[in-house]
Amino acid sequence: PVDLAIVTGAASGIGRETAWQLGRSGYFVGAVDIDAEGLEEFSRKAHADGLSAGIFLADVSDDTATNRIFSHVATLKKPLAALVNAAAICIFANPEDISLDQWDRVLSVNLRSVWLMSNKARPFMVESGRGSIVNISSVHAWATDHLVSPYTASKGGISALTRALAIAWGKSGVRVNAVLPGPIDTPLMRANLRAVGDEEAEYAKLSASLALGRAGQPVEIANVIDFLCSAK
């Protein structure tokens, strides 16, 4: 049977491009997101392009919702070869202005989700003796700015959790890696630019500060993730 790859955050940006790329690489893609419209759009385009994909509307920070995802996976009878944890949100405010609810929401969506999804994927991967989990951390795990403190904390947590899971599960054939992108041109990056000023002016400033003179494109990260999923 065709291998299954689950991608969270698959309705937009890096997750959507990754879901697409994995579909082109021959996986059956399970596209998970909280954005129903974006998922439908992904599904229409994937099927028009001859890719095999199913969509799953779920909040990846929710224990019950993630249980439903994996109950469905069990019915598919396809080896779960890859899980890409790409869903994330960001709240732009100074640390002292972040509410408790905002802190909890960002940490839940970005970090608890990785723990929930990875833990629930693990038995399927152990059963087939192989599997690759790719978590999207961020350059913010290392170097950040003043407006994104819960996001930064969540990304530092993802990098650390990735190391812990890689050590815990490696001997059972489950590989766990993280990618740490710099600025990538997606709706999330655009929201970040608008949070600090005029979008186009901020994009010009950002580009000038980057080695390539531009932000990255989602496909450049999707290609790296496809490689990390592919190695046996």
The tokens of 98 are what? 């972040």
- Closest CB to ligand NAP among residues 22, 79: 22
- Let me know: does 40 contact 46? Beta carbons within 8 Å: no
- Residue 87 interacts with ligand NAP (CB under 6 A)? yes
- Residue 86 interacts with ligand NAP (CB under 6 A)? yes
CB atoms within 10 A of CB 97: 11
CB of 51 to ligand NAP, least distance (A): 18
Q: Is 75 exposed, middle or buried (0-12, 13-18, 19+ CB in 10 A)?
A: exposed
User: Site map for ligand NAP, 173-202, x if CB under 6 A?
Assistant: --------x-xx-xxxx-------------
Q: Is 203 an active-site residue?
A: no
CB of 173 to ligand NAP, least distance (A): 25
CB of 192 to ligand NAP, least distance (A): 7
- Closest CB to ligand NAP among residues 98, 126: 98
Which residues 108-127 are close enough to bind ligand NAP by CB under 6 A? 109
Question: Which of the residues 151, 175, 186, 189 is marked catalytic?
Answer: 151
- Closest CB to ligand NAP among residues 25, 217: 217
- SS3 of the chain: the string is CCCEEEEECCCCHHHHHHHHHHHHCCCEEEEEECCHHHHHHHHHHHHHCCCCEEEEECCCCCHHHHHHHHHHHHHHCCCEEEEEECCCCCCCECHHHCCHHHHHHHHHHHHHHHHHHHHHHHHHHHHHCCEEEEEECCHHHCCCCCCEHHHHHHHHHHHHHHHHHHHHHHHHCEEEEEECCCCECCHHHHHHHHHHCCHHHHHHHHHHHCCCCCCECHHHHHHHHHHHHHCC
- Closest CB to ligand NAP among residues 3, 33: 33
Please identify the residue of the shown chain whose CB is closest to the bound ligand NAP. 13
CB of 214 to ligand NAP, least distance (A): 12
**Structure-derived torsion over alpha carbons of residues 8, 12, 18, 21, reported in degrees to the nearest 10:** 130
Of 12-20, 43-51, 197-205, 206-214, the window that binds ligand NAP (rule: CB under 6 A) is 12-20
- Closest CB to ligand NAP among residues 8, 162: 8
User: Site map for ligand NAP, 50-69, x if CB under 6 A?
Assistant: ---------xxx--------
Active site residues: 151
Interacting residues with ligand NAP (CB under 6 A): 8-9, 11-15, 33-35, 38, 59-61, 86-89, 109, 136, 138, 181, 183-184, 186-189
